[in-house]
């Protein structure tokens, strides 16, 4: 049996995006293009991957646990996914269990025909809606919040599939970028606040939709524009058209796309992610200077910000930590002794650069803090004279309910400790975070507008842009997988 490539086991102290989506319309070999796009979006979801195609008569689907490389690298798989229309999905679960039944695209036979959906985001009233649908007779096949959308479409009283789809979306809360495949064509929609990203490109006469511009680059497509918040795009044999079925709202895209989620070679909101991260580092250096010998990133997520910090501060940038790119769950099943050495499987101190140096250590965020403790200890053991940690975002004090795998608040270090206690816990000589206004300056704003924030920054501020119905209802369990016990 071929090994399953999955997220490495030491990557547990970062926030993770739930997924990435890709859509291809009107291209020969659509499945192969979708697979290439999913490769480019692998960082957004490494738990599972799937592709659904339509050949004009039938739908074809392949879904599997693990990385794209382990599941879509065989001609037999790609050749079985026939058709010139395809949608694909990378998964990193935030709601629902880890199981093949939750791997997207999800597919259902509706009265109007086949309907497949790939979803990036999280429906914050999914449990409430699911309970209502089950009581009305709906039978769910997964524990994913995405399946709620399918049942809302199926049970809508409207006549056309498009109207039923719009009706369904008007009942959901939270964040979504959706790609839907039907016998008539493809639907693409972004939530009214634009929390989750979606872009549109062109490849010859074909259309490409994806979570990030880097997926367009991978397949050779030209970037046209971002799908706007609240916009619904319909692509069919008649061409592309756009409608806006929702009341306009002030957009609040996720600011953490700039900090960590997006690949540095992507463009988000018209800005280079790499350049924004360098500006974040420069802001961090201006706000939190320190007398030191070298600036060292925690690779790879801290690297652009560390470059910006070094350029602004004049302190030399050095690769003081070397990352192994070959660690994965297939490498070893660690016992306690090996688990305690786990951080060295992924990161190792470059002792020649560290010994006797005062180090500024740059990372994108602190979540639980466990990896930070191990990395600082590693630098100490390599001979660092001082370690000053600088974080390229504000403290993460609140959980995300919009499609990010955030630990419950009791496990967020910044929610339990002030900065000085965190410094003592991580055992660094000093610890500082970027301010919220510094982050906004880095993304091109003069400051955060507290009366109407320009971005969703709830993980830092607790200012959630939508209702959190499932969280507000104390009687509703957090996990959809518990719901069946209550209904029965």
Q: Which residues are catalytic?
A: 19
Which tokens hold the place of 213?
Answer: 């511009």
Distance in angstroms (rounded) separating the CA atoms of residues 42 and 424 = 35
Please tell me whether residue 86 adopts helix, strand or coil conformation. strand
Spatial CB neighbours of 11, under 8 Å, sequence gap ≥ 6: 346
Region of 24 (left: φ > 0; alpha: ψ -120 to 50; beta: rest) is: beta
Do the bridges between strand 16-17 and strand 404-405 make them parallel or antiparallel, or are there none, so unpaired? antiparallel
Is the distance from CB of 52 to CB of 109 less than 8 angstroms?
no
Beta-sheet pairing, 59-65 with 48-54? antiparallel
Angle between helices 126-135 and 146-155 (to 10 degrees): 40
- What DSSP element (H or E) covers 412? none
Within 204-255, strands assigned E span 206-210, 222-226, 232-236, 239-243
Distance (Å) of CA 60 to CA 41, 55, 81, 107, 183:
22, 8, 5, 10, 12
Measure CA of the first residue to CA of the last residue in the chain; give whole Å.
39
Strand-pair partners of 17: 404
Helix (H) / strand (E) containing 381: helix 370-381
Q: Is residue 293 a contact partner of residue 320, using CB atoms and an 8 Å limit? A: no
Beta bridge partners of 430: 388
Residue positions counted in the chain: 488
Peptide bond into 100 cis (omega under 30): no
CA distance 103 to 244: 29
Q: What are phi and psi of 344, to 5 degrees?
A: -75, -20
Note the Cα 47 to chain centre separation in Å: 12
Cα torsion 450, 301, 265, 188 to 10°: value is -60
DSSP-derived 3-state class of residue 75: helix
């Amino acid at each position: 049996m071929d090994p399953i490539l999955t997220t490495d086991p030491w990557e547990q102290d970062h926030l993770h995006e739930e997924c990435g989506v890709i859509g291809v319309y009107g291209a020969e070999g659509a499945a192969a293009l979708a697979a290439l796009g999913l490769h480019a979006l692998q960082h957004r979801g490494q738990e599972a991957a799937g592709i659904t195609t339509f050949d004009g008569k039938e739908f074809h689907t392949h879904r599997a646990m693990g990385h794209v490389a382990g599941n879509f690298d065989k001609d037999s798989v790609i050749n079985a996914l026939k058709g010139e229309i395809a949608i694909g999905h990378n998964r990193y679960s935030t709601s629902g269990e880890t199981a093949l039944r939750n791997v997207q695209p999800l597919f259902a036979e509706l009265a109007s025909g086949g309907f497949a959906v790939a979803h990036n985001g999280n429906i914050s009233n999914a449990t409430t809606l699911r309970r209502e649908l089950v009581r009305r007779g709906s039978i769910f096949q997964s524990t994913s919040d995405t399946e709620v959308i399918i049942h809302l479409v199926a049970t809508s009283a409207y006549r056309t599939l498009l109207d039923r789809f719009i009706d369904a979306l008007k009942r959901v809360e939270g964040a979504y970028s959706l790609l839907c495949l039907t016998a008539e064509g493809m639907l693409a929609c972004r939530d009214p606040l634009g929390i989750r990203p979606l872009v549109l490109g062109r490849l010859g006469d074909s259309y490409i939709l994806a979570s990030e511009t880097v997926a367009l680059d991978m397949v050779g497509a030209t970037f046209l524009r971002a799908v706007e918040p609240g916009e619904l795009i319909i692509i069919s044999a008649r061409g592309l058209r756009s409608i806006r079925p929702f009341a306009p709202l002030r957009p609040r895209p996720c600011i953490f796309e700039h900090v960590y989620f997006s690949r540095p070679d992507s463009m988000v909101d018209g800005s280079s992610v790499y350049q924004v991260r360098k500006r974040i580092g420069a802001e961090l250096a201006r706000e939190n200077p320190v007398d030191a010998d070298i600036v060292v990133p925690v690779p790879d997520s801290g690297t652009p910000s560390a470059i910006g910090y070094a350029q602004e501060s004049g302190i030399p940038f050095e690769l003081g930590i070397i990352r192994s790119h070959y660690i994965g769950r297939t490498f070893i099943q660690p016992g306690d002794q090996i688990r305690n050495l786990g951080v060295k499987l992924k990161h190792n101190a470059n002792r020649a650069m560290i010994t006797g140096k005062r180090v500024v250590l740059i990372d994108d965020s602190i979540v639980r803090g466990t990896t930070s403790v191990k990395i600082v200890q590693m630098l100490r053991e390599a001979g660092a004279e001082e370690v000053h940690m600088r974080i390229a975002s504000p403290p993460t004090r609140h959980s995300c309910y919009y499609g990010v795998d955030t630990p419950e608040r009791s496990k967020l270090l910044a929610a339990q400790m002030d900065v000085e206690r965190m410094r003592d816990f991580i055992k660094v000589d000093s610890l500082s975070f970027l301010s919220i206004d510094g982050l906004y300056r880095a993304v091109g704003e003069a400051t955060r507008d507290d009366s109407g924030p320009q971005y969703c920054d709830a993980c830092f501020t607790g200012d959630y842009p939508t209702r959190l119905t499932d969280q507000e209802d104390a009687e509703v369990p957090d996990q959809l997988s518990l719901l069946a016990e209550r209904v029965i």
